[in-house]
A and B are shown apart, each in its own frame.
Chain A
Amino acid sequence: MAESESHDRKGDAVTRDGTPWIEERLALPSLDYAIPSAANRWMYMLGGLTASFIVVLVLTGIYMGQFYNPTPTGAHDSVLYLITRAPLGDWVRSLHYWSAGAVVLTVTMHLIYVFWRRSYRKPREVTWWAGVAMAALLFLLLVTGTALRYDQEGFEALAHFVAGGNLTGAIGAFFTEGFTRSTTLLSRIFSLHTSVLPFALFGLMALHFWLIRHLGIHAEPGETSVFRRHAMRLGSVSLLAFALVGLLALFVPEGLGYPPVGGVEMTKPMWPVLWVYGLENLLGAWGMVLGPAVIFGFLALVPLADRSDGGRQIVAWVGAAIGLAVLALSLFAAFGPTQQHIGM
């Protein structure tokens, strides 16, 4: 009798104080489904860690949005206001900056590991495509976020949007000043960064999680664990990573450049975008269009190409070549001189 009561989560009789009420109301027992114990390894938690940092980015972004003025006349001053006057503004902004860097790191490692393990194969092609699309959205979020600083670096990022928009005609019309006279490009980039791209990202995250829940992760059959344990472990790692990033934001705060002046290119972008800068050094403005198109296009084709031994070899070699090229271009951009790319 006592034994049966102690395990009856649905009945009125419960044996432990507190926990059953919460478990019942939040349906926590449904988290106790079996998953491969490999899910608790570090490399399998990179996707979850990325999601955790995205939560930090959303929260800090909402806070910063209360102080930001997305107009060319007010943007730079409002960022300075955020840093110098808004309560915790400097720390929250730096937290946003470092979390963005952390997301780039975790999502890249996640992508490389999934690619390495060929986890994109049947039946997980759509899981992979959703992941690649999310990586592309995160890249766009990074560059649109840079433009919002509206210092010299931000202004040059904005000018690159315009140049890219002009190069690609109707496809890139949104990024040109001529798209509408009713508002400024900076306001539209702000809207893109704070609503359009995050909404698209959340939709894809929902799809990605749904597919992982129902198709499972790609791991060798063996020992099993329960999802609740994985969620707690991920929560633990995420909180510790957040504490680390919080310390970084405190002791290495993000800076801000001087108000922008048009007609010159004198800054280099944030490190995750350096490879595009390097490509622009070689190809001019087309580099910023062709580089991302080639990489994300290749990643999209991977599940279709890797369907035979020959296909597998090609995908592996092209993937390795692209990885090395990104690394080389980043170094080339980091250590080379600043160059004019878009003829400002």
Chain B
Amino acid sequence: MKKTTTLGRRSELFNRGADAGLTLAAVGIMLFATVFPVLGNVLEAAHPEAVLESERASANAGGAIALRGSQFGENGTYALQLLGALNEYDLGAAKSDGDGRFALDIAIPGDVRPGAYQVVAIASDGDVIARLDVTLAAALPMAAEEHSEMDATSMDNMEEHQARADEISIARDRNGVEWGAIGLIIGAAGGLGIGLGRRQKAL
């Protein structure tokens, strides 16, 4: 009788603690949901909203794209990069005038794989402040010949015109954190599975 009463009090304390914990969690989520977007907006406002445009947002590898920039900072220098899912290329720099505008032709490297890319403008502090989606097609034959060497992750443009049923040889590098995370997930699943199995037998 005495033991039950003590346990009952402890459980009541646990119940109150759990209710208080849930209340705190709800308030925390509310505050986070309110503050987080505002904070994001403040951080984003460190740079003005710049715009990259092009009449024709597509080109062949080895070709060129006429690029226009507006709403950049006055008389600034911005690095331009071509970002693909697998590779990135430096495209030089753009200098804005007193109105924050620039116009230039950017040369697309000849060894770029066909696909979807982004041209990005990067401020001196390393922040990407404008993006333009571009679609690049395979190099025309002349341009492709000038770029016969490809890097390890790209496949030869010429080979892409021949169908292949086999698989690409992919270098699968996994860092220590990834190994740890995978080990933890598999280990936790296995351990929990064994634990649940033992507990259900006891029921």
Which residues of A line the B interface, CB within 8 A? 1-2, 5-6, 12-18, 20-21, 69, 71, 73-74, 76-78, 80-81, 83-85, 87-88, 90-91, 151-153, 226, 228-229, 232-233, 235-240, 242-243, 246-247, 250, 253, 255-261, 263-264, 266-267, 338
Contact = CB atoms under 8 A, between A and B. Distances in A.
Contact of A152 (B164, B172, B197): B164
Given A21-B11, A78-B85, A239-B190, A15 B166 contact: no
Contacts of A20: 11, 15
B165 A236 contact: no
Given A91-B174, A261-B163, 20 more contacts: A15-B11, A17-B14, A77-B85, A80-B85, A85-B85, A87-B178, A88-B178, A151-B168, A232-B200, A233-B197, A235-B196, A236-B193, A239-B193, A240-B193, A240-B194, A246-B182, A247-B186, A256-B170, A261-B160, A264-B163
B203 A73 contact: no
Contacts of B155: 258-259
Contact of B174 (A76, A90, A260): A90
A84 B171 contact: yes
B11 A17 contact: yes
A1 B2 CA distance: 11
23 contacts: A5-B4, A12-B8, A13-B8, A14-B7, A14-B8, A17-B14, A21-B14, A21-B18, A69-B116, A80-B86, A81-B86, A90-B172, A228-B203, A232-B196, A236-B193, A236-B197, A239-B193, A243-B193, A246-B185, A253-B172, A255-B168, A260-B163, A266-B165
A74 B116 CA distance: 5
B200 A239 contact: no
B181 interface: yes
A330 to B, nearest CB: 19
A71 B116 contact: yes
Interface string B188-201: 01101111110110
Contacts of B166: 257-258
A15 B172 CA distance: 53
Interface in B147-161: 153, 155, 159-161
B196 A258 contact: no
A2 B6 CA distance: 11
A75 to B, nearest CB: 9
5 shortest interchain CB distances as A-B pairs: A239-B193, A74-B116, A232-B200, A236-B197, A261-B163
B100 interface: no
Nearest to A261: B163
A160 to B, nearest CB: 15
Contacts, number: 166
B135 interface: yes
B115 interface: yes
B172 A83 contact: yes
* Residue among A2, A253, A256, A338 with most chain B CB within 10 A: A2
B47 interface: no
B168 A242 contact: no
A226 B8 CA distance: 27
A240 B193 CA distance: 5
Interface of B: 1, 3-4, 7-8, 10-12, 14-15, 18, 84-86, 113-116, 135, 153, 155, 159-168, 170-174, 178, 181-182, 185-187, 189-190, 192-197, 199-200, 203
A243 B163 CA distance: 37
A242 B196 contact: no
A263 B162 CA distance: 11
A255 B7 contact: no
B203 A226 contact: yes
A15 B163 contact: no
Contact of A21 (B15, B84, B115, B173): B15
B8 A84 contact: no
A253 B168 CA distance: 13
A314 B18 CA distance: 61
Nearest to A89: B178
B123 to A, nearest CB: 24
A21 B15 CA distance: 6
Given A229-B203, A246-B186, A261-B161, A6 B4 contact: yes
A84 B152 CA distance: 12
Nearest to B170: A83
Contacts of A338: 165
A2 B172 CA distance: 61
A240 B10 contact: no
Contacts of A235: 193, 196
B7 A74 contact: no
Contacts of B160: 258-259, 261
B190 A243 contact: yes
Nearest to A80: B86
Contacts of B135: 73
Contacts of A2: 1, 3-4
